[in-house]
Structure 1
Amino acid sequence: MAKPTMQKPASIRATLRPLELSQHLFEVELVFPAEALGQGAVAAMPAWTPGSYLVRDYARFVDRMRLVEGRKESPLEKLDKQRWKLPASKRELTIRYRVYGNDLTVRTNHVDATHAQIIPAATFLYLEGQLDRPVEVRFEGFPGDWKVASALPQKQGAYLAKDFDTLVDSPFELGTFRTRRFKCGGTTFELAFTGLHSGDEGRITEATEKIVDAAGAIFGGFPFDRYVFLFTFAPKLRGGLEHKDCTSLISDSHAFDKPEGYYALYQLVAHEFFHAWNVKRLHDTVLGPFDYSRENPTKMLWFHEGLTAYMEHVIVLRAGVVPWSHTSKELARCWGEQVQRPGRLEQSLEESSWDTWIRLYKPHEFSPNSSVSYYDKGEMVAWLMDATLREGSRGKAGLADLFSLLWTRHGETGLRDADVRQAFKELSRKDPAAFWEAYISGRTELDAAPLLRAFGLRMEAQAPWETLPVDERQDPASLRRAQSWTGLSLAANGPTIQNVIPDSPAAAAGLSFGMEILAVDGWRTTTAAEVQRGFSQAGPGAMVTVLAADRGRVFEARVPVMLSPERSHRLVPDPRAGATPRTSFTASYGQAWPAAPVKRGGRR
């Protein structure tokens, strides 16, 4: 006897209409089927969107919530900040509400007279307990020359999401965007370009194709038939948010006068595209299906984000769209920041992952001294993990191979920390406990020795005065300025204290966040540069008198100046590196082992 087939739930029908585009206002109409309302229901607005781990309270952008019955409209009972009560009904019910969207990020709606970026989590209500119900989305009344870009399939004018999770994972771009397409491995890729910019869209498309090919090679192909890149350009903005079959990318319109602008965009493309596997499919079981009403904490964001931040470099290097000379500077800069960040001694990567909802996305003045980023430190730990895998396998396996193995074994079935450890153990032939206790759950200082052993790359630390040109190093005043340090960081727009390094001279003198430095050794200071000049002119070993203001009260403090402990870092290929490290470098990055720089003017 054949098993009875489950009847597909009736769809929620959604229609979006412009109200006043110049005022960033649009209307949403939702028609709920009768079968969803027999006992009444609760309609809720998500509090956050997957991929951006912060409660954003999207309901704050919504008003005029009303039940529509013919020409009659009545308000809905609001249960809390983001939930409304729907009455029991034997017929379908229609509700309408207004949405304000004037925040151009990849996490929020932005509509105006030129385009509309619709972020589903910030736009659509869901029925509690009925996330599996399909949603049909239509657009009416928008300018006639506007098009719609979306990863969702279209049928008879409606965009079809099989459930609410799929809808949330499918942003829309409306407007007069430019479109390009290419095919790779049987998959169709579409690129929608919105906004004016100084870049070459043909060049960006060509690089994106190479990035797609390099990423797909890691996993043996693509887990989708169609994928959409939504590129938006606006001055001084940058961001990306991954989705299952598409990604939203925002780049600075004026970034492309130098190659580095393209490199930054290519890294962003690689990062968000790699997420199509890492986090959108291969993910901690906590990260899907989601609870959209509250935080969904996980200890594995170091894996999903930190390792992806490193893999973006691997992918663009393998794709040949970013040179090693640029990547090595990026890696060395990030290394230097992490080994000198005071918070490295206070918070582990697992703790950073778990607390992201209240700490990483809500930093305060003391955050650099008490926390780390699972993105940035995670990227450096991923680098060490790649080196450890190469070293343990004698160059045969690296981090890309770890992802390939995990994808083969776990795919979309859910991933645990134990699964990552097991794959690490098999490929590196090492017990993962020591690595995890040092760098994942622990706070051990980063050690660059594996980079030298595995890849033949030496991490060199240089004091500020060591990077000076020869003539300035021989000048006592220039040398004294480069050597001076108080542990004080100032805001870019004035002499206001932004941070004080714990246990530094400035901290010992009682200086703290938000105070204003009025004078140094009797000289009036109105800019950050003038404050730093006052300290640096005194030189290490001097005692400087500071006039400062704290909440309107002026006081005097004496600040000792000490020899600077700050260091810049650079990667230098070790000419003594053997064949295995050189081969491992090529295996990880797809490029020839770099030649050592030539010494010039006292510097290499």
Structure 2
Amino acid sequence: MNHADLPAIQYTIWPADLYGHRFRVKLHIANPDPNGQVLQMPAWIPGSYLIRDFSKQIELIEAYSVTGTRKKIALERIDNDHWLLPPLNGSVEILTTVYAFDSSVRAAYLDTERAFFNASSLCLAVKSQEYLPCSLAITPPELAFADHWTVQTTLRAVKTDDRGFGFYLAENYDDLLDHPIAMGDFQLVHWKSNGVAHRMAIQGCNHIVDAKRLAQDLQAICTSTIDLFEPKTKRAPFGEYVFLVNAVLNGYGGLEHRNSTALLCRRDQIPQENILFEESTYREFLGLCSHEYFHAWLVKRIQPKAFQPYDLAKRNHTRLLWVFEGFTSYYDDLQLLRSKRIDLKTYLKLVSDNWNGILRGPGRHKQSLADSSFDAWTKYYQADENTPNAVVSYYGKGALLALGLDLQIRAFTKNKQSLDDLMRLLWHKHGSEGIAEDGLDGLIFELLGEDFGKIWNEMKARYIFGVEDIPLQKWIGSNLICVKLKSQSALEKLKLQFGMRHTDANGWLKVTHVFDGGIAQAAGLASDDLLSSIDGQRVTSARWDRVLGSLSENSHARITFYRDDLEHERMVSLQSASIPVQYELLPKKDV
């Protein structure tokens, strides 16, 4: 294809240096602003609320006039993310070299085994022309060992070879950013959910994956989710969907897109032929798939108005992440239960674990769900040693709020309606337009009336804008589920009282987090301290349980630790901390 057949904005990407991890990117602009065209590299990627400054990976940037005689032109740096072309008439090309060695799902990666990128990490935006269609040409690596590489993406192919290299089209710059691209060797898993083609493209597994098991489980999950939002039409909002999976030794995470998701997981979480794996680790992977797939509706189509349009030069604040991430976190495991991938006992264990984890965090009494959402950019995504004492997760507590709202709706309507009905109303009312910060209020009033509105307003005041614990123990009234205080051994209680997280550091037990009000804090322990002994007994990660188990209740203990290579010793009472309440949810038939 020649330039005349393509949009006015054209990108070409070469995996140019596999050994040095560098992409080469060409941006062709047919009609730059004659008064001086501004270019911008995004500072963050939608779905991951942290300023990442992708421009820092640009090693070289040059501009050329390509109308008539090709000649290099000046390119002024405005700030970290913006450049300015001089006033001119005619087409220009911008050439960049971008370093790419971020193995997360958020950026770009290139080595001799695979390539992956989000366009937000490689492609400059042409300011004031972002609404225009654009093309993307992907060229194959010029190395013999990469001759078998293929391309996996949901970007619309226009003219590609049998390996997927060639030309693609995007509706606009935002659309371009919403289709991650992976290259290399893949194991493919195919299935259809309600007639829509789905596939999973997996990299990083040396053994043959159990494609039959994966297809069966994912088909059930995806079908259940489509049916949730469209129980009558059973219609998905996309024509195809792709899970791009990078399996590694250690790693976990996902990033949602309109027709696809990029996933990072451990190899042992994927079922592979002739390889032993634990069902619980596989369940985690299915939960991740369920979570990101649910986002195709809630986040990618139903959005806060604050995200419309995304401003990729600065933070975009909303107080609604407890809805968009919290409700998704509620439904990800619920969809595993509904699709019969897990049983009720397993599901209740997952809910209990999340509930108890929230109850162990001192930060839940300092930060509201609304503030947690608003401050995600600076607190949740920039966690430090004090995070458990200052922050509550809008994922975890948001999921509990969703469960609580579901229980309240079911009780109010005598099980004639549920949170599912609210989600469908949200979808039909806001599937193509943003929802205001208080937009959920009107939907709840419309669905359930003013009497329930009083219940909702109290929930908001106490559990969303307030910092009270969500009283699930009072709201669970099912004939199928029993809630009770969790029985704990003396060792488990002492661990909770100790209030400390740790890791192993060359044989030492290294403190990572100290909770407010715990024994560890009373002893003066802090992050990065090396705990050496308790009552003269050497402490290591391997011996932690044994040493704690040897201590007498209602006594004192002598704690020795090192800070900055200086030894410290403290006496502390083992009664100096309260025990966070913990709950257990069980099917009544098992009680």
Please give the TM-score of this superposition, normalised by the length of structure 1.
0.87
Q: Residue in 1 aligned with 2:20? A: 23
> Distance in 2 between the 1:553 and 1:181 partners?
59
> Distance in 1 between the 2:521 and 2:189 partners?
55
> Distance in 2 between the 1:569 and 1:532 partners?
22
Q: Residue in 1 aligned with 2:498? A: 486
Alignment partner of 1:318 is 2:338: yes
Q: Is 1:65–1:98's contact at 8 Å kept on the other side of the alignment?
A: yes
1:175 to 184, 198, 204: 184
Q: Residue in 2 aligned with 1:462? A: 486
Q: Is 2:200–2:243's contact at 8 Å kept on the other side of the alignment?
A: yes
Q: Is 1:152–1:170's contact at 8 Å kept on the other side of the alignment?
A: yes
Aligned residue identity for 2:349: K
1:552 to 528, 542, 565: 565
**What CA deviation, in whole Å up to 9, does each residue of 1:227-255 have, x standing for no partner?**
22222222222211111111112221122
Alignment partner of 1:187 is 2:196: yes
Q: Is 2:369–2:397's contact at 8 Å kept on the other side of the alignment?
A: yes
Aligned residue identity for 1:545: R
Q: Residue in 1 aligned with 2:147? A: 144
> Distance in 1 between the 2:359 and 2:412 partners?
24
Q: Summarize the Cα distance change of 1:451–1:524 in structure 2 as closer, same or farther, 3 Å threshold.
A: same
Moved more, 173-182 or 57-66: 173-182
**What CA deviation, in whole Å up to 9, does each residue of 1:130-153 have, x standing for no partner?**
221222000124243222222121
Moved more, 101-110 or 161-170: 101-110
> Distance in 1 between the 2:243 and 2:8 partners?
27
2:531 to 483, 505, 517: 517
SS in 2 for 1:424: helix
Moved more, 120-129 or 228-237: 228-237
Q: Is 2:32–2:89's contact at 8 Å kept on the other side of the alignment?
A: no
> Distance in 2 between the 1:394 and 1:414 partners?
31
Alignment partner of 1:48 is 2:44: yes
> Distance in 1 between the 2:335 and 2:579 partners?
35
1:204 to 204, 214, 239: 214
Moved more, 228-237 or 21-30: 228-237
Q: Residue in 2 aligned with 1:499? A: 513
Q: Residue in 1 aligned with 2:112? A: 113
Moved more, 245-254 or 551-560: 551-560
Offset at residue 163 of structure 1 (A):
0.7
> Distance in 2 between the 1:29 and 1:529 partners?
53
Moved more, 367-376 or 443-452: 443-452
Q: Residue in 1 aligned with 2:426? A: 406
**What CA deviation, in whole Å up to 9, does each residue of 1:455-505 have, x standing for no partner?**
64232222421xxxxxxxxxxxxx578657433433343323222222233
> Distance in 2 between the 1:341 and 1:76 partners?
50
SS in 2 for 1:13: strand
Q: Is 2:24–2:96's contact at 8 Å kept on the other side of the alignment?
A: yes
1:30-429 alignment runs, 5 A limit: 30-33=27-30, 35-69=31-65, 73=72, 76-142=75-141, 143-156=146-159, 157-196=166-205, 199-220=209-230, 221-255=235-269, 256=271, 257-428=277-448, 429=451
> Distance in 2 between the 1:510 and 1:127 partners?
54
Q: Summarize the Cα distance change of 1:453–1:155 in structure 2 as closer, same or farther, 3 Å threshold.
A: same
Q: Is 1:9–1:134's contact at 8 Å kept on the other side of the alignment?
A: no
**What CA deviation, in whole Å up to 9, does each residue of 1:341-362 have, x standing for no partner?**
1111011111000000011111
Q: Residue in 1 aligned with 2:556? A: 543
SS in 2 for 1:113: coil
> Distance in 2 between the 1:243 and 1:358 partners?
23
Aligned residue identity for 2:218: T
> Distance in 1 between the 2:176 and 2:60 partners?
23
Offset at residue 329 of structure 1 (A):
1.2
Offset at residue 430 of structure 1 (A):
1.1
Q: Percent identity?
A: 28
Q: Is 1:391–1:454's contact at 8 Å kept on the other side of the alignment?
A: no
> Distance in 2 between the 1:165 and 1:481 partners?
50
Q: Residue in 1 aligned with 2:452? A: 430
SS in 2 for 1:254: helix
Aligned residue identity for 1:522: G
Q: Is 2:116–2:183's contact at 8 Å kept on the other side of the alignment?
A: yes
Q: Summarize the Cα distance change of 1:48–1:103 in structure 2 as closer, same or farther, 3 Å threshold.
A: same
SS in 2 for 1:565: coil
Q: Is 1:463–1:566's contact at 8 Å kept on the other side of the alignment?
A: no
> Distance in 2 between the 1:388 and 1:122 partners?
44
Q: Residue in 1 aligned with 2:469? A: 445
Aligned residue identity for 1:90: N
**What CA deviation, in whole Å up to 9, does each residue of 1:390-412 have, x standing for no partner?**
11111111122111011122221
**What CA deviation, in whole Å up to 9, does each residue of 1:204-241 have, x standing for no partner?**
12222221211111221211222222222222222111
Q: Is 1:481–1:539's contact at 8 Å kept on the other side of the alignment?
A: no
2:522 to 488, 495, 508: 508
Moved more, 266-275 or 424-433: 424-433
Q: Summarize the Cα distance change of 1:201–1:394 in structure 2 as closer, same or farther, 3 Å threshold.
A: same
Q: Residue in 2 aligned with 1:570? A: 584
Offset at residue 301 of structure 1 (A):
0.4
Aligned residue identity for 1:238: Y
SS in 2 for 1:495: strand
Moved more, 224-233 or 387-396: 224-233
Q: Summarize the Cα distance change of 1:180–1:524 in structure 2 as closer, same or farther, 3 Å threshold.
A: closer
Q: Is 2:102–2:108's contact at 8 Å kept on the other side of the alignment?
A: yes
> Distance in 2 between the 1:415 and 1:449 partners?
31
Moved more, 73-82 or 44-53: 73-82
Q: Summarize the Cα distance change of 1:179–1:536 in structure 2 as closer, same or farther, 3 Å threshold.
A: closer
Q: Is 1:45–1:126's contact at 8 Å kept on the other side of the alignment?
A: yes
Q: Is 2:510–2:531's contact at 8 Å kept on the other side of the alignment?
A: yes
Offset at residue 524 of structure 1 (A):
4.1
Q: Structure 2 stretches of 5 or more lacking a match?
A: 160-165, 272-276
Aligned residues: 555
Offset at residue 530 of structure 1 (A):
4.3
Q: Is 1:482–1:536's contact at 8 Å kept on the other side of the alignment?
A: no
Q: Is 2:491–2:548's contact at 8 Å kept on the other side of the alignment?
A: no
Moved more, 58-67 or 537-546: 537-546
Q: Summarize the Cα distance change of 1:454–1:86 in structure 2 as closer, same or farther, 3 Å threshold.
A: farther
> Distance in 1 between the 2:24 and 2:6 partners?
25
**What CA deviation, in whole Å up to 9, does each residue of 1:493-539 have, x standing for no partner?**
332322222223332333322222233223444x1454664454232
Moved more, 321-330 or 111-120: 321-330
Offset at residue 372 of structure 1 (A):
0.6
Offset at residue 552 of structure 1 (A):
3.5
Q: Structure 1 stretches of 5 or more lacking a match?
A: 1-7, 466-478, 575-595, 598-603
Q: Is 1:303–1:378's contact at 8 Å kept on the other side of the alignment?
A: yes
> Distance in 1 between the 2:367 and 2:479 partners?
29
SS in 2 for 1:64: strand
When the two chains are superposed, the root-mean-square deviation of aligned CA atoms in Å is 2.4
> Distance in 2 between the 1:303 and 1:350 partners?
10
> Distance in 2 between the 1:455 and 1:96 partners?
65
Moved more, 427-436 or 79-88: 427-436
> Distance in 2 between the 1:316 and 1:501 partners?
33
Q: Is 1:16–1:27's contact at 8 Å kept on the other side of the alignment?
A: yes
Q: Summarize the Cα distance change of 1:265–1:203 in structure 2 as closer, same or farther, 3 Å threshold.
A: same
Aligned residue identity for 1:430: F
> Distance in 1 between the 2:217 and 2:545 partners?
43
Q: Residue in 2 aligned with 1:592? A: none
Q: Summarize the Cα distance change of 1:237–1:483 in structure 2 as closer, same or farther, 3 Å threshold.
A: closer
